[in-house]
Amino acid sequence: MMTRLVIAALVGLGGMARAAETSRPTEASAAGKKLIEFGWDEPDPAFMRAHADQLDGSPFDGCVFHVNYSRPGGQSGNFTWAAWGRQAFTLEDVRPAIDDLKAAPLKRMRHNFLRFNTTPADIDWFDDHAAVINNARLAATIAREGGCPGLLFDIEQYNGQLFNYAKQRDAATRSWDQYAAQARLRGREVMEAFQDAYPDLTVFLTFGYCLPWGESQTDEKKLAACGYGLLKPFIDGMVDAIRGRTKLVDGNESAYSYREEKKFRTARRLIREDVLAWVPDREKYRRHISVSFGLWMDYDWRKQGWNTDDPEKNPVPPKRFEQLVRTALQYADEYVWVYTETPRWWSDEGKPVKLPPAYDAAVRAARAPATSPE
């Protein structure tokens, strides 16, 4: 979607470019790394149960999925898009989804992440967040009971400008420091709720510190003027609360635009080292952070099109995409995610839609052993 393209373009790597051991790939090849699919073909547990063979037949280790709710009186909707608001949901509201997750006969595709959005974002940071905390706990419960490694925490501001200080309800009367302290408190509360329901889970952020770092041009004093400035103290709170073997993944969505190996290398260094300059608890962050990359296969298709008959005419042809996936896997700690809008890897008809076979082959080939870049 366009907002994703704009965000990817806004984020500059910047920062302390220096050679360092931890900027190198953790393994010499893609072996042992995992590919996650996240796109407009996002399934719900009912689809996963009915189409397990189709999902298992894809080149992915897992996908991002959403959960629907159904309440007494006939109210229903998408829990993923309703969780960050004033409405608190119960286990019974989502029980059918949990049952479907448990019954889905998935064999290979087991690394599935429940999407948890910051939507509808219709409350201020200083309002009562009891419903949000309840829903965070419920989301983690769904993931745990469904046998998932954790949650995909999508921080994009689809609705309210949750992380934009200038857009906050009381910005005229409350200072940046006050809002930053409150966002940090909420980050701590949300992470505690996740872990209370699911100890040692994986929390997969679409963006971590790398987004406000890039927007502010590495200057913490500029965060008050940034669209995602409050994301920094919010993540501070998450790191404050992280414990045990919980893993925090920086999904680094800005990798959508990467076309060169050095971009992945620089981004890995940024996430693991450069941002330490403004992380309050550096040792805890080092222990729990995991580097990831998001790759957009049909990048900028609205302007440049998506050619299913001749994929070589696409902005990222199959062979080029294969190399990007391979490089991302080499520089990631564990996960790489592939985002798509026009092409669908699965459908109700039991087959891909607008997906040239060459891309399926490219993703599979990218997982083959390769020599590590220098």
- For 215-271, what is each residue's pLDDT tens digit? 999 999 999 999 999 999 999 999 999 999 999 999 999 999 999 999 999 999 999
With 50 as the cut, is the pLDDT of residue 14 above it? no
**Phi, psi at 267, each rounded to 5°:** -65, -40
The neighbour count for residue 217, using CB atoms within 10 Å, is 11
Give the list of residues 6+ apart from residue 144 with CB closer than 8 angstroms, or none: 197, 198, 201
Task: Read off the pLDDT of each residue in 150-168 and give the average, rounded to a whole number.
Answer: 97
- Confidence bin at 6 (pLDDT 50/70/90): low
Given this model, what pLDDT does residue 32 score? Answer: 84
3-17, 67-81, 167-181: range with lowest mean pLDDT: 3-17
**Phi, psi at 222, each rounded to 5°:** -95, 0
Give the list of residues 6+ apart from residue 93 with CB closer than 8 angstroms, or none: 69, 70, 71, 79
Question: Among residues 265, 307, 347, 303, which one has the least CA distance to residue 21?
Answer: 265
- Confidence bin at 4 (pLDDT 50/70/90): low
Q: What percent of the chain has pLDDT over 90?
A: 88
Given this model, what pLDDT does residue 74 score? Answer: 83
Q: What is the mean pLDDT of the chain?
A: 92
With 60 as the cut, is the pLDDT of residue 178 above it? yes
With 80 as the cut, is the pLDDT of residue 1 above it? no
Using CA atoms, how far residue 37 sits from 28, 55, 120, 201, 348, in Å, is 23, 10, 24, 19, 17
- Domain limits, the chain: 2-14+31-366
- Confidence bin at 368 (pLDDT 50/70/90): confident
- Confidence bin at 196 (pLDDT 50/70/90): very high
In one letter, which amino acid is 39? G
Burial 296-329 (b: 16+ CB within 10 A, else e): bbbbbbeeeebbeeebeebbbbbeebbbbbbbbb
Using CA atoms, how far residue 99 sits from 92, 93, 354, in Å, is 11, 12, 31
pLDDT tens digits, 256-315: 999 999 999 999 999 999 999 999 999 999 999 999 999 999 999 999 999 999 999 999
Question: Among residues 332, 256, 221, which one has the least CA distance to residue 1?
Answer: 256
With 90 as the cut, is the pLDDT of residue 372 above it? no
pLDDT tens digits, 310-353: 999 999 999 999 999 999 999 999 999 999 999 999 999 999 99
Assigned CATH class of 2-14+31-366: alpha beta
CB 77 within 8 A of CB 69: yes
Task: Read off the pLDDT of each residue in 32-56 and give the average, rounded to a whole number.
Answer: 97
CA distance 1 to 252: 16
CA distance 29 to 33: 9
The neighbour count for residue 337, using CB atoms within 10 Å, is 30
Task: Read off the pLDDT of each residue in 203-221 and give the average, rounded to a whole number.
Answer: 96
CA distance 260 to 257: 9
Encoded tokens for 68: 């629907």
- Confidence bin at 118 (pLDDT 50/70/90): very high
Given this model, what pLDDT does residue 73 score? Answer: 84
Burial 83-108 (b: 16+ CB within 10 A, else e): bbbebebeeebbebbbebbeebebee
pTM over 0.75: yes
With 50 as the cut, is the pLDDT of residue 18 above it? no
Given this model, what pLDDT does residue 76 score? Answer: 95
Here the contacts of 44-48 (C-beta below 8 Å, separation 24 or greater) are 44/68, 44/97, 44/100, 45/96, 45/97, 45/98, 45/100, 45/101, 45/104, 45/146, 46/96, 46/97, 46/100, 47/346, 47/348, 48/100, 48/101, 48/104, 48/106, 48/112
Encoded tokens for 224: 């008050």
With 90 as the cut, is the pLDDT of residue 21 above it? no
**Phi, psi at 183, each rounded to 5°:** -65, -40
72-81, 142-151, 233-242: range with lowest mean pLDDT: 72-81
In one letter, which amino acid is 36? I
Given this model, what pLDDT does residue 109 score? Answer: 95
